[in-house]
Structure 1
Amino acid sequence: MRLTDRVSLATLAIFLIFLSREVSSDGSNHRYSTGDAVPLYANKVGPFHNPSETYRYFDLPFCTPEHVKEKLEALGEVLNGDRLVDAPYKLDFLTDLDSKVLCKKKLSVQEVKKFRSAVNKDYYFQMYYDDLPLWGFIGKMEKDASGDPNESKSFLYRHIQFDILYNKNRVIEINVRTDPNAMVDVTEDREVDVEFLYSVKWKETNTPFEKRMEKYSQSSSLPHHLEIHWFSIINSCVTVLLLTGFLATILMRVLKNDFVKYAHDDEAVEDQEETGWKYIHGDVFRFPQNKSLFAACLGSGTQLFALTIFIFILALVGVFYPYNRGALFTALVVIYALTSGIAGYVATSFYCQLEGSNWVRNLLLTGCLFCGPLFLTFCFLNTVAIVYSATAALPFGTIVVIVLIWTLVTSPLLVLGGIAGKNSKAEFQAPVRTKKYPREIPPSPWYRGTVPQMAMAGFLPFSAIYIELYYIFASVWGHRIYTIYSILFIVFIILLIVTAFITVALTYFQLAAEDHKWWWRSFLCGGSTGLFIYGYCLYYYHARSDMSGFMQTSFFFGYMACICYGFFLMLGSVGFRASLFFIRHIYKSVKCE
Structure 2
Amino acid sequence: MALGWLLCPQLWTAWLLLTSLSSAFYIPGYSVNRYNDNDPIPLLVNKIFSDHTQLQYAYYDLPFVCPPSGKKHGGSPFGSGERVSLNLGEILRGDRIMTSDFELAMGKNVECQSLCTREVGRKDVKWGRQLIKDGYVAEWIADNLPGATTFVTVDRSRKYYATGFKLGSREYSPVDGKLRYFINNHFTIVIRWRSLPEGGKVVVGFEVFPKSISANDRLENGCPKQVHADQDALEFLIPQNTALLREKYPGSSYLPEDDDELDDGATLKIPYTYSVYFKEDNKVDWANRWDLYFSNPEESSMTHWLAILNSLTISGVLGVVVFVIWNRTVQGDVKGRGDGAMEGKLRSKLASRQAEHKREGVLDQGDVERDADLEDEELEDVSGWKLLHADVFRVPAYSGLLAPLIGSGMQLLFMVSGLLILSCMGVLNPSFRGGFVSVGMGLFVFAGLFSGYFSGRLYKTFGGIGWRKNTLITAFLFPGLTFSLMFILNLFVWAQASSTAIPFGTLVSLIALWLLIQVPLVYIGSWLGFARATPWEHPTKTSSIPRQVPEQPWYLRSTQLALLSGLVPFAVLFIELLFVFKNMWLDKSGYYYVFGFLSAVSTILLITVSEVTIIATYSQLCAEVYSLAPLYTQRQLTTGQNYQWWWQSFITGGSSATWIFVYCIWYYISKLHITGFVSSLLFFSYSFIACAVYGLLTGTVGFLTAYAFVRRIYT
Normalising to structure 2: TM-score of the pair? 0.74
The residue that corresponds to 1:173 in the other structure is 205
How far the C-alpha of 1:398 sits from its partner, in A, is: 1.7
- Which piece of structure 1 moves more, 241-250 or 302-311? 241-250
TM-aligned CA deviation for residue 212 of structure 1: 4.7
Distance of 1:249 and 1:520 partners within structure 2? 25
Q: String of CA shifts for 1:50-90, please: whole Å, max 9, x gaps.
A: 2x311010222211133322212122211111101122322
Identity value in percent: 29
Q: Is the counterpart of residue 573 in structure 1 residue 605 in structure 2?
A: no
Per-residue deviation, residues 266-312 of structure 1 (Å, max 9, x unmatched): 88545877531122211111110111111111111111111111111
Would you say the 8 A contact 2:69–2:101 is kept in 1?
no
Structure with the greater alpha carbon radius of gyration: 2
Q: Equivalences for 1:312-391 in 2 at 5 Å?
A: 312-391=420-499
1:128 partner SS: strand
Shift of 1:554: 1.9
Aligned counterpart for 2:187 among listed residues 148, 160, 176: 160
Distance 1:427 1:212, change over 3 A: closer
How far is the alpha carbon of 1:473 from its aligned partner?
A: 2.0
Cα separation, 1, equivalents of 2:123 and 2:189: 29
Match of 1:124 among 137, 140, 144: 137
Residue from 140, 151, 170 that aligns with 1:141: 170
Give the counterpart of 1:72 among 81, 85, 100.
85
Letter in 2 for 1:55: Y
Pairs within 5 Å for 1:261-276? 268-269=346-347, 275-276=383-384
Q: 1:586 to 1:270 in 2, by over 3 A?
A: farther
* Worse-matched range after superposition: 560-569 or 181-190: 181-190
Where does residue 292 of structure 1 map in the other structure?
400
Q: Is the 8 A contact 2:187 2:273 kept in 1?
A: yes
Does residue 1:543 correspond to 2:618, yes or no?
no
Q: Is 278-287 or 458-467 further displaced after alignment?
A: 278-287
1:17 matched residue in structure 2 = none
Give yes or no for contact 2:414–2:443 (8 Å, CA) kept in 1: no
- Which residue of 303, 307, 312 maps to 1:237? 312
- Structure 1 residue 575 displacement after superposition: 0.8
Q: Deviations over 1:428-460 (max 9, x none)?
A: 322111111001111122222100000111110
1:480-531 CA-to-partner distances (Å, cap 9, x unmatched) read 2111111101111111111111111111111111111111111111111222
Larger CA deviation: 511-520 vs 177-186: 177-186
1:410-436 Cα distance to aligned partner (Å, 9 max, x none): 011111101111123413322111111
Instruction: Map 1:445-456; keep pairs closer than 5 Å.
Output: 445-456=553-564
Q: Give a deviation string over 1:547-583, Cα, whole Å, max 9, x none.
A: 2222222222212212211111111111111111111
Write out per-residue CA displacement over residues 147-181 of structure 1, whole angstroms, 9 at most, x where no aligned residue.
x9x82111111221111111232222111112364
Structure 2: state its 5+ residue gaps.
Answer: 1-25, 71-80, 148-163, 196-200, 213-229, 241-266, 350-374, 623-639
Aligned runs of 1:434-583 on 2, under 5 Å? 434-477=542-585, 478-512=588-622, 513-583=640-710
Which residue of 37, 40, 52 maps to 1:34?
A: 37
Q: Which amino acid aligns with 1:49?
A: H
| Aligned equivalents of 1:521, 1:30: Cα separation in 2 | 55
User: What letter corresponds to residue 106 of structure 2 in structure 1?
Assistant: F
Counterpart AA for 1:579: A
Whole-angstrom CA distance in 1 between matches of 2:417 and 2:507? 26
Contact conserved, 1:34 with 1:93, CA < 8 A, in 2?
yes
Q: Distance in 1 between matches of 2:689 and 2:667?
A: 17
Give the count of matched residue pairs. 559
Pairwise CA distance, 1:143: 3.2
Q: How many Å separate the matches in 1 of 2:580 and 2:698?
A: 18
* Shift in alpha-carbon separation, 1:491–1:526, aligned structure 2, 3 A: same
Distance in 1, Cα, partners of 2:503 & 2:296: 33
444-453 or 459-468: bigger deviation: 444-453
Which ranges in structure 1 are unaligned for 5 or more consecutive residues?
A: 1-21, 589-593
* Mapping of residues 42-53 of structure 1, within 5 Å: 42-50=45-53, 52-53=54-55
Verify: 1:308 aligned to 2:383, yes or no.
no
Tell me, yes or no, if structure 1 residue 185 matches structure 2 residue 235.
yes
Helix, strand or coil for the counterpart of 1:508?
helix
Could you tell me how far apart the structure 1 residues matched to 2:43 and 2:346 are? Answer: 86
Compared with structure 1, are the counterparts of its residues 163 and 267 closer, same or farther at alpha carbon in structure 2 (3 Å cutoff)? same
RMSD: 2.5
What's the secondary structure of 1:44's corresponding residue?
Answer: strand
Q: Residues of 2 paired with 1:313 and 1:217: CA distance?
A: 22
Amino acid at match of 1:30: N
- Higher mean alpha-carbon deviation, 478-487 vs 103-112, is at 103-112
Corresponding position of 2:122: 109
Contact residue 115 and residue 274 of structure 2 kept, 8 A: yes
Cα displacement string for residues 19-46 of structure 1 (whole angstroms, at most 9, x for unaligned residues): xxx9xxxx99622232222111100013
Give the whole-Å Cα distance in 2 for the aligned partners of 1:46 and 1:584.
52
Distance of 2:606 and 2:344 partners within structure 1: 38
SS at match of 1:175: strand
* Contact 1:77-1:325 at 8 Å conserved across structures: yes
Q: Which shifted more, 59-68 or 368-377?
A: 59-68
Give the counterpart letter for 1:66 in structure 2. Answer: S
Between 478-487 and 336-345, report the one with greater CA deviation: 478-487
**Residues 1:324 and 1:216: Cα distance change in structure 2 (over 3 Å):** farther
Partner Cα separation in structure 2 for residue 34 and residue 91 of structure 1: 11
- Over 3 Å counting, the alpha-carbon distance change for 1:63 and 1:252 in structure 2 is same
- Equivalent residue number for residue 63 of structure 1: 66
From 478, 496, 510, the counterpart of 1:402: 510
Which residue of structure 2 aligns with residue 194 of structure 1? 270
Once residues 412 and 427 of structure 1 are traced to their aligned partners in structure 2, the CA distance between those partners, rounded to angstroms, is 22
Cα contact 1:113–1:189 (8 A) shared by 2: no
* Alignment correspondent of 2:711: 584
Q: 1:425 to 1:202 in 2, by over 3 A?
A: closer
Out of 199, 202, 227, the position equivalent to 2:302 is: 227
CA distance in 2, matches of 1:136, 1:399: 31
| Offset from partner CA, 1:115-173 (integer Å, 9 cap, x none) | 21221111110010111111200111113579x9x821111112211111112322221
One-letter code aligned to 1:161: T
Give the deviation of 1:393 after TM superposition.
Answer: 1.4
Q: Is the 8 A contact 1:472 1:482 kept in 2?
A: yes
Q: Aligned equivalents of 1:267 and 1:483: distance in 2?
A: 64
Q: Secondary structure at the match of 2:183?
A: strand
Q: Which amino acid aligns with 2:601?
A: V
Is the contact made by 1:37 and 1:91 (CA closer than 8 Å) also made in structure 2?
A: yes
| Deviating more after overlay: 539-548 vs 429-438 | 539-548
Whichever structure has more helix as a proportion of its residues is 1
The 1-side partners of 2:337 and 2:694 are apart by 39
The answer to which of 309-318 and 58-67 deviates more is 58-67
Structure 1 range deviating more: 475-484 or 509-518: 475-484
Q: CA deviation at 1:228?
A: 1.1
